Amino acid sequence: MKKYSNETIVGIFVVLGLAAISFMAVRLGNVSFLGDNTYALYAPFNSVSGLRVGNSIEMLGMEVGRVAAFKMDQDKQQAIVELRIQKGIEVFDDAIASIKTAGLIGDKYVEIDPGGGGDLLGSGDTIIETESPVDIMELVSKYAFGDVGEN
């Protein structure tokens, strides 16, 4: 039986370590080599304050996608958010997209109420009904200065 030298054993461990690091980088970075398993939906918001590319999209309490990009519609004075939804997740044309906060001061995410009374949305379609995020600092200042009942 042939005895392995120390260099061979170290080489095997180095290759296995690099493979493990590469695998984790791909998994944590949400990179796909075999094609994209998502489709794009768009949602116009009056404000996307605190929302960032990569934030999660949730439906029924489960993560179903990620925020992919932002662009501005100068004519309507709205921010258009590109939502990448996992294939197989059905969103209807009466869906409502809302920007929510995880916890009191947590990260923002997009919550989608999937609807169900209309036609299915396909890749490139737009969710018409949206709700912009609540500005916590504005609410606190209104409460502090007694303007809560006004508006």
Supply the range of the domain harboring residue 111: 38-137
Closest C-alpha among 12, 106, 9, 88 to residue 51? 106
Question: Where would I find the H helices in the chain?
Answer: 6-28, 136-144
Please tell me the distance from the alpha carbon of residue 38 to that of residue 64, in angstroms, as a whole number: 9
pLDDT of amino acid 1: 44
Residue 2 lies in a domain: yes
Give 47-70 pLDDT, tens digit per residue.
898 899 999 999 998 999 999 999
Counted domains in the chain? 2
pLDDT of amino acid 26: 76
4 and 62 share a domain?
A: no
Residue 117 lies in a domain: yes
Please tell me the distance from the alpha carbon of residue 142 to that of residue 123, in angstroms, as a whole number: 41
Share of the chain above pLDDT 90, in %: 47
Please tell me the distance from the alpha carbon of residue 134 to that of residue 140, in angstroms, as a whole number: 11
26 and 100 share a domain?
A: no
81 and 105 share a domain?
A: yes
pTM for the complete prediction? 0.69
